[in-house]
Amino acid sequence: MEPIECVGILANKVIPGADRWARKAMSFLRERGAEVLLDPEMADWLDEEPSGRNLADLAARSQLVLVFGGDGTFLRSARALEACKVPLLGINMGSLGFLTVLRLADVTAALSAILAGDYRIEQRMLLEATLYRGEEPFERYTALNDAVMHTARGSRLVEFIISVGGQYLGNYRADGLIVATPTGSTAYSMSAGGPIIHPTMNALVATPICPHALAIRPIVVGGEEQIEVQIGDRSGRASISLDGMVEVLLQQGDEVRIRRADCTQPVLFPLGFGYYSLVREKLRWGGPELT
């Protein structure tokens, strides 16, 4: 891969030590001749000069953006930079880290290799959710992790009427329904009993949340399929959230059509990164080695 010469920095300002680690990375990069870019908010926080008017300026000039924080910070950064398609590398300062995969202890060694061109980039699927009221769409969103339709606060179960590619699949009442990308399969979907899907697969997974029927199970469909979810007449108040950030209220009769988005999110990884090693580490699979 081509050497990296220009790196943007984003960080979660509320995490203790995030400023110290961001400055450490900046010093390391500058010592090796790389240009470091900061948007005005980050520059003010780190007592540095800004590199442009806004995040779009930063992303347009960056070959890579480092994200210091947890998976939520990574998702917010991906959403803020969605139109720019700059690769992101997450440095884990959170609690889990399926998106922020680089450990703090490995930052300098990884950056040294990355600057020299020793890295790879994965194009992660985004989903597109289009909301219909009657025959007309009224909102359209993208998400890196998931679209979650669920009961609004203090309401009763929602009736979901589900089709795939126009073919009726079934209906049931539940607290919610998660439609996740492979990247998002290790997030809320996994917590609700959904399968883990390798993040480079072309697929979507629909996982019910506490369905009021024992036979209802998660289902994986091909990435070329569209999942159509209608809010039934036997529903309480419902809403849809995208990556846990954007939330929109839904009405009975509304339909949500979810498909693979036409665009992707590039994510950078050091050479030698292994997804299954990450799964084993984060989920603590396997016990102590036998001696």
DSSP-derived letter for residue 196 is P
Catalytic residues: 71
Tell me the residue ranges of DSSP E strands in 29-118: 35-37, 64-69, 88-92
Phi and psi at 260, nearest 5°, equal -70, 130
Determine the Cα–Cα distance for residues 225 and 217; give it in Å rounded to an integer: 18
Determine the Cα–Cα distance for residues 266 and 204; give it in Å rounded to an integer: 18
State how far the alpha carbon of 217 is from the alpha carbons of 168, 172, 193, 260, in Å: 16, 11, 9, 22
First to last CA, the chain: 41
State how far the alpha carbon of 175 is from the alpha carbons of 15, 188, 207, in Å: 32, 13, 11
Bridge pairing between strands 6-11 and 35-37: parallel
Count, residues in the chain: 291
Determine the Cα–Cα distance for residues 141 and 171; give it in Å rounded to an integer: 24
Tokens 């060694």 belong to which residue? 109
- CB 218 within 8 Å of CB 207: yes
